[in-house]
Chain A
Amino acid sequence: MCLAIPGKIIEIDSQNPQQAVVDVVGVRRKVDLGLLQDDRPVPGDWVLIHVGFAMSKISEADAADQMRTLTMLGETDAAMQEVRGYGLENEEQDPSGQRRTP
């Protein structure tokens, strides 16, 4: 139920704006934009494709945000140790004594 792939819109059909062509690393596929009528994508936008239909726009900002969070995993402890040393923070502790990680 879940195979959906990100693709970049490279062209919108001038005759039929509900049809577009997306590119997935050099493979081009026709895609139906009918489900994104409320928020029409333009060439250059990235969309999630499932059974030939664009389901959602992909947010580069959110993706970058997520990568930042993931990159910080493991580094957070080290960062928190440092901050503790400054005596500035107001950390919550849960009963198990585990620090709340942001």
Chain B
Amino acid sequence: MKFVDEFRSPELISRAGEEIRKLADPHRHYRIMEVCGGHTHAIYRFGLKDLLPPNVELIHGPGCPVCVLPMGRIDDGLSLAAQPDFIFAAFGDMMRVPGTHGSPLEYKARGMDVRIVYSPADALKLARSNRDKHVMFFAIGFETTAPSTALTLVRAKAEALHNFSVFCNHVTIIPAIRAILDSPDMRLDGFVGPGHVSTVIGCRPYDWIAKDEGKPVVVSGFEPLDILQSIVMLLRQLRKGEAKVENQYKRVVPWEGNRAALRAMAEVFELRPYFEWRGLGFISQSALKIRASYAEWDSEQRFLVSGVRVTDPKAAQCGEVLKGVLKPSQCKLFGRECTPEQPVGALMVSSEGSCAAYYNYEHRKPVTIANAATN
């Protein structure tokens, strides 16, 4: 696969690992956060931690849009759709996420019409071919995914397709990073920046992290060589005492972002004054809601939503794991009451959730010197 295989070259990966080991100052312990859940998944899938020296530690950030969704929102979405002639459409990622009374797949087993879609455009297609039903698309994702939802809503309006609405849970990445940096428990040296979010928002939104917080940010791609090269670039900055924003993912990310995507988002969405994030609490201006001009296609403006807050079970430490304060294995429920088949929190179900990634890919690995210190 072009643009994939060359970035998985074993020879070059070994070299990049070498370079990291050379660059890492043995008297320092580096704590680097990868913000995006897709990076967390890639790190585990490619076994990249095995290549890092013990003093370069990767901390998993909150960039998993499924993980940060409070259970109350899932309950609301499911109870809305639990009406006759409703179709609940969502990405595969949502299907096993637990609500108070079950996951979408469990609701499906009990008779609700639940469909997996790969694209918001698929949900719109469902609406076109099921005129006697209402299709509710349960939208999730950061700025990578929001523009596609936005364009889909523009199209729905243009077609005057009334049997379609979106239950919008899109969130934005910068407030989440701010919340992490504001957290007193965190000590971080730098960030592996979210490559795909950046194709939309560009690299400028991270300037304050470098200028005001003094932490370097390298916007990174998702192949093993991308992630390793980004770590190399971060270590180089750290060794020189620099803090700037760099774009490792140049082949895809334009520094200024994608104007057309940002326009589509601005047309359809506005910022909610505040939104609750699982683990991070209420954060202002951190989530998107559909504008009044698109009210007809906003599930929340069209239907009654209870808006009940559902707190996580007390024993679950989803919040601390999300913030990177605790490692998945340090949560008391990890691997016992909470496993991918019987998840207590979304971090265990979402494929990018650090608990699921750790459980599925790592925790039964033979302990080596490389992973002992950091796991």
Contact = CB atoms under 8 A, between A and B. Distances in A.
A–B direct touch, CB within 8 Å, in complex?
yes
Interface of A: 1-6, 8, 24-25, 32, 34-38, 46, 48, 50-53, 55-56, 58-60, 62-63, 65-67, 69-71, 73-74, 94, 96, 98, 100-101
Contacts of B195: 2
A3 B145 CA distance: 10
Interface stretch (B179-187, B245-253, B274-282, B364-372): B245-253
Given A38-B260, A63-B6, 16 more contacts: A1-B141, A1-B145, A2-B222, A3-B38, A35-B258, A46-B3, A50-B148, A52-B122, A55-B144, A55-B200, A55-B252, A70-B225, A73-B232, A74-B19, A94-B239, A98-B239
Contacts of B196: 1-2, 4, 48, 50, 55
Q: What is the interface of chain A mostly: helix, strand, loop, or mixed?
A: mixed
Interface residues of B, number: 58
Contacts of A98: 239
B229 interface: yes
Contacts, number: 142
B25 interface: yes
Of the candidates A3, A60, A63, A98, the one having the most CB atoms from chain B within 10 angstroms of its own CB is: A3
Interface of B: 1-4, 6, 12, 15-16, 18-19, 25, 36-39, 41, 63-65, 91, 118-122, 141-142, 144-145, 147-148, 151, 194-197, 199-200, 222, 225, 229, 232, 236, 239-241, 248, 250-254, 258-261, 264, 352
Contacts of B251: 58-60, 62-63, 66
Contacts of B248: 66
A92 to B, nearest CB: 9
Given A51-B145, A55-B200, A62-B251, A71 B36 contact: no
Given A35-B261, A38-B259, A70-B15, A6 B253 contact: no
B147 A35 contact: yes
A94 B16 CA distance: 22
Q: 8 smallest A-B Cβ distances: which pairs? A: A2-B38, A52-B119, A6-B3, A62-B251, A63-B251, A62-B250, A53-B148, A56-B199
B144 A65 contact: no
A59 B250 CA distance: 8
A36 B38 contact: no
Given A1-B144, A3-B38, A101-B236, A56 B25 contact: no
A52 B254 contact: no
